[in-house]
Structure 1
Amino acid sequence: MPNPVLLLLLPVLLHAVAAVSSEDSAEDPCAGRRIHIRALPPRFNTHLLRHCDAAFPLADPSASAPPSCASLANHGLGPRTHPRSRSWYRTDARLLEPFFHRRILERRCLAADPALADAVFVPYYASLDALPYLLDPALLDSSASHGASLAEFLAHDRPQILSRRHGHDHFLVLAGSAWDHSQPPELEKGQQPRMWGSTSLIRRPEFENFTVLALESRTWPWQEHAIPHPTSFHPSSLRRLQAWLDRARRSRRPVLMLFAGGVSRPSRPNIRGSILAECANRTDACVVVDCSAGKCAHDPVRYTRPMLRSRFCLEPPGDTPTRRSTFDAILAGCVPVFFEDAAARRQYGWHLPPARYDEFSVYIQKETVVLGGVRIAETLAAVPEAEVRRMRERALEMAPRVMYRRHGSTAELRRAGMDAVDLAVEGTLRRIRGRTRALEDGQPERIYALEDDSIEP
């Protein structure tokens, strides 16, 4: 097997070539969009990939998971689901950071000189660096030190890069929930003990001005923004993308609703328990795909085929409000059904504009189901078929916005529209420009405005 540290060698060469851009054009297409990729010691990124055989199995208990180091294939997309597959991969979400790094290296508007950059990307594989704190109970009390070494490096290696805009032009990717990395760095007297499986990375004062792109953001912090959970679909050409969307449009959908997730019954009433109880009584209308113990994490066929046969996909919150299943459903043309706003509407404004949710999804307040006797199947069956088709078409129109296309994709696919990475980077640049203007205008209070979150580029 190839050394995983060499996986990013080719992109680094591409970066060096792309950074040499022409400044002679009268019309500069890169104005306001130049990104400098911060040069970090390998211990903050590529060297972390060396531990795949030791660290990944501790977090991959599923027997269906590929061999741990195999997940590094294709720059973090994982191995193909089938030798003949060209768009489907067994993607491990924790490897979004090296994949995102790979995609940033492909961008046209890169600046070798940080003084000429509008934004600074920090290619820190934060979730991989956090694994020891998350998996070893003996390190619980030291989890507040996650990111301390990076903070020290940024402060002392060419400190002018960080100090120029006080970090407001810096951004990084976090392949996980912001909640898992937002514990207070220091516990006050009388506070609960540190929560196992969490760190204090984004609560560190050294990073407080960074923009953090996470798979799930908290509700209030102005510096965070959620980006879609990566699915297993990563087309490399427009033809392959269109072929999949056409298949989703043509699929016969005899099943009213589907739930894909863990099937253990909760100890107290909640929306997931209500869904499982209703599905057990309405086998004529509901299909349950058992994804307990990671059964679905690396096996997209297990849930994608049933989604193609279903009109609605139920998306209840789990341990946290958001779910990867939401994006799998959109790609399959299965209309997502949400039970709380925090599940998506308040998260992914750059990718799924909040004003358009009613066009491609259904909302049923969870309290009306758990406590009010509302039947989900009856509610969904009452939606006119023409309306269901319209919502399905709108969901498929949104699909290219939430997928992560393959690195090295064709120019035709890139021109066809922005994918999840493009929208995340453009949203970040827009936010950084707003902060920079606020600093230059002497109006720092404007830094905390989030009015850009629902803007469609």
Structure 2
Amino acid sequence: MAYTDMSSSSYKKLHMVHVNRSPLKFPAPSSSCCCKARVLPCLFCLLLCLTALCFLQATNTSHLQELAWVAYPNLAEFIQDNVLQALRDEDEGEHEVHDMCEGRYVYMYDVLAQFNADLAEECIVTGRGRCRESWGCIYCGGLENEGRGLLVPSLTEADNSTILNKNGYYYNYSIQLRPAEAWYRTHQFSLEVLFHAKMKKYACLTTDMARADAFYVPYYAGQDAALSLRCNALEVRDRHVNLFLEWLRGQETWQRTRGHKHFMVLGRQPVDLNRPIKTRMWGLPITSQPELANLTFLWKGKAFSTFIHEIGVPYPTSFHPSSDSHLKVWQETIKGTKREWLVSFLGSARRKFRHESTLQFRQELHKQCEKENDKCRFLDCTLEYKQWQIPCESEPEIVTLEFSNAVFCLQPEGDTPTRKSFFDSIVAGCIPVVFSNETAHLQYDAYLPPDPTLYSIFLNKDDIALGKDNFVQALANISTGRVKSMQENIREHILPRIIYSSPSSSISFPDSFDIALHQLFSSFTS
């Protein structure tokens, strides 16, 4: 296999040029205002209008002024104090710049979208102040540790067994997550925050716009989408987008380049962020904005549109090593694990999907798995522990442990062709079984070998859906030699490339962040 080699000890030791900055703070609209936007004006909406005037006045000054608000809701205060401030505190001091940064300098704009605080509280915290998990929302603690989420609790095997078995859930883990300090409960929609944290410590960050080879725009569009997608009033749903665009138009560099060599990271799928402007469809109008036509988007699944400059990057997993030794420990762990099941399927076969055919196909997978229950293990992802159900979102480390017990892991399409589960299976050393080329083969070409048979199994979706083929028997017929070869490719060559190391790591190998920037610079120079 041939991979692009970007690793060198000197590359990782580069120092960055950065100064202490304060992020732009956008005001947060009220959820009650969203409900009444088309019926009655409310006092809060009037305050928002006054705030918008202040914002426009602030953008006309030579230096971006930090807008002051009377009080911040709990979530906004948490983000400011625990995420952003922690990033800024480590960026002070003089730094030396290495010659290898030539052609890789990045200028980072000073803008962050403020969350819709009222919708965030409704989405994440109940009236009693207790966290509840909901698909699409960042669960409580999901933005801590620079976007990695909460550290996975270091429970003993007996502790885990007690927790999982209390609701009849079958515990059979043969390994533990090691090293413990490298594992976090990372949400699939935290990519924007995680990438921003790593960019803050990027070796070739510069404050000299004339020196920059690329321009990073850290707007958390995916985070805003999670909090406003269900708002029917477009003027409220799109408010942060419009504020962001107004700010961007006023930037000297943006006016000069019109978005060329600019890039933005999007933490959600295309369907959530490419709504046509002024239509009442699902999503936010990000990629459809004329002002952003020249900008390059890095996100977890390509839209495959001729009108969008895009690069597919991996979903964040729960594994964030800080050193080469961390990676080595985990590689050795999954190399020696006893895989009890031939195949595992973690996902829902009950809830509604965007396409009815998706649900029907998953139900057929579930049906075949139950008939072969001595070889196949099916677990339904839900919000709490129940019989044969696990909370895949709030405790993603359970997914890794489950996949570490299987040789093959099914990766059927859901609402989108891509899945976080695909990368979870790679981290667990489990061979992914895909049913569409858009799940991974066409999405992440810089991260995966050009020959998909080196690391994955492709099965015909139509034949399985019609009951013509049995996927369990098809997987059982794969030779032991081929299985071992794929497992080694996954463990030794692919795993290091699809993970996001800790922002303060000292690794020598290129991770997802490094490869994403390499793709970006290559596209700009070509």
Under a length normalisation based on structure 1, what TM-score does the superposition of the two structures give?
0.83
Note if contact 2:116-2:227 (Cα within 8 Å) is conserved in structure 1.
no
- Please state how far the C-alpha of 1:226 moved relative to its aligned partner: 1.6
- Taking the aligned partners of 1:146 and 1:361, their CA distance within structure 2 comes to 41
Equivalent of residue 231 in structure 1, options 292, 304, 317: 317
What pairs with 1:19-418 in structure 2 (closer than 5 Å)? 20-22=95-97, 28-40=99-111, 42=112, 44=113, 53-57=121-125, 62=133, 68-83=139-154, 85-136=180-231, 138-140=232-234, 143=237, 147-156=241-250, 158-159=251-252, 161-187=253-279, 194-196=280-282, 198-221=283-306, 222-264=308-350, 270-293=360-383, 295-353=391-449, 355-371=450-466, 373-396=468-491, 397-409=493-505, 411=506, 413=507, 415=508, 417-418=509-510
1:11–1:142 distance in 2 versus 1, CA, 3 Å: closer
Note if contact 2:123-2:134 (Cα within 8 Å) is conserved in structure 1.
no
User: Which stretch shifts more, 218-227 or 270-279?
Assistant: 218-227
Structure 1 residues 396-451: Cα deviation after superposition (integer angstroms, max 9, x where no partner): 12011111111211x2x2x1x111111112111211222xxxxxxxxxxxxxxxxx
- Please state how far the C-alpha of 1:142 moved relative to its aligned partner: 5.4
- Taking the aligned partners of 1:63 and 1:211, their CA distance within structure 2 comes to 30
User: Which stretch shifts more, 5-14 or 371-380?
Assistant: 5-14
2:84 equivalent in structure 1: 8
- Taking the aligned partners of 1:121 and 1:386, their CA distance within structure 2 comes to 45
- Taking the aligned partners of 2:433 and 2:483, their CA distance within structure 1 comes to 12
1:374–1:200 distance in 2 versus 1, CA, 3 Å: same
Aligned length: 410
Q: For residue 9 of structure 1, what is the amino acid of its counterpart? A: Q
- Please state how far the C-alpha of 1:225 moved relative to its aligned partner: 1.7
Note if contact 1:323-1:343 (Cα within 8 Å) is conserved in structure 2.
yes
Identity fraction in percent: 30
Note if contact 2:318-2:397 (Cα within 8 Å) is conserved in structure 1.
no
User: Which stretch shifts more, 213-222 or 65-74?
Assistant: 65-74
- Taking the aligned partners of 2:367 and 2:409, their CA distance within structure 1 comes to 16
Q: For residue 124 of structure 2, what is the amino acid of its counterpart? A: F
Structure 1 residues 264-304: Cα deviation after superposition (integer angstroms, max 9, x where no partner): 17765743122111011110110012113482112134322
- Please state how far the C-alpha of 1:344 moved relative to its aligned partner: 0.8
Which SS does the other structure have where 2:503 is aligned?
A: coil
- Please state how far the C-alpha of 1:199 moved relative to its aligned partner: 1.2
Which SS does the other structure have where 1:216 is aligned?
A: coil
- Please state how far the C-alpha of 1:54 moved relative to its aligned partner: 4.5
Which SS does the other structure have where 1:94 is aligned?
A: coil
Q: For residue 80 of structure 2, what is the amino acid of its counterpart? A: V
1:454 equivalent in structure 2: none
- Taking the aligned partners of 2:301 and 2:269, their CA distance within structure 1 comes to 5
Which SS does the other structure have where 2:322 is aligned?
A: coil
Note if contact 1:289-1:303 (Cα within 8 Å) is conserved in structure 2.
no
Note if contact 1:215-1:228 (Cα within 8 Å) is conserved in structure 2.
yes
Note if contact 2:151-2:183 (Cα within 8 Å) is conserved in structure 1.
yes
- Please state how far the C-alpha of 1:13 moved relative to its aligned partner: 4.7
Higher helix share: 1
- Please state how far the C-alpha of 1:234 moved relative to its aligned partner: 1.1
Which SS does the other structure have where 1:203 is aligned?
A: coil
Which structure has the larger Rg?
2
Gaps of 5+ in 1: 188-193, 435-457
Q: What RMSD over aligned residues (CA atoms) do the two structures have, in Å? A: 2.7
- Taking the aligned partners of 2:181 and 2:517, their CA distance within structure 1 comes to 25
- Please state how far the C-alpha of 1:231 moved relative to its aligned partner: 1.1
Note if contact 1:315-1:323 (Cα within 8 Å) is conserved in structure 2.
yes
- Please state how far the C-alpha of 1:127 moved relative to its aligned partner: 1.4
Structure 1 residues 321-350: Cα deviation after superposition (integer angstroms, max 9, x where no partner): 011110010011110000010111111122
1:433–1:57 distance in 2 versus 1, CA, 3 Å: farther
- Taking the aligned partners of 2:361 and 2:78, their CA distance within structure 1 comes to 45
- Taking the aligned partners of 1:63 and 1:128, their CA distance within structure 2 comes to 14
Note if contact 2:427-2:495 (Cα within 8 Å) is conserved in structure 1.
yes
- Please state how far the C-alpha of 1:186 moved relative to its aligned partner: 3.5
Under a length normalisation based on structure 2, what TM-score does the superposition of the two structures give?
0.72
Note if contact 2:107-2:206 (Cα within 8 Å) is conserved in structure 1.
yes
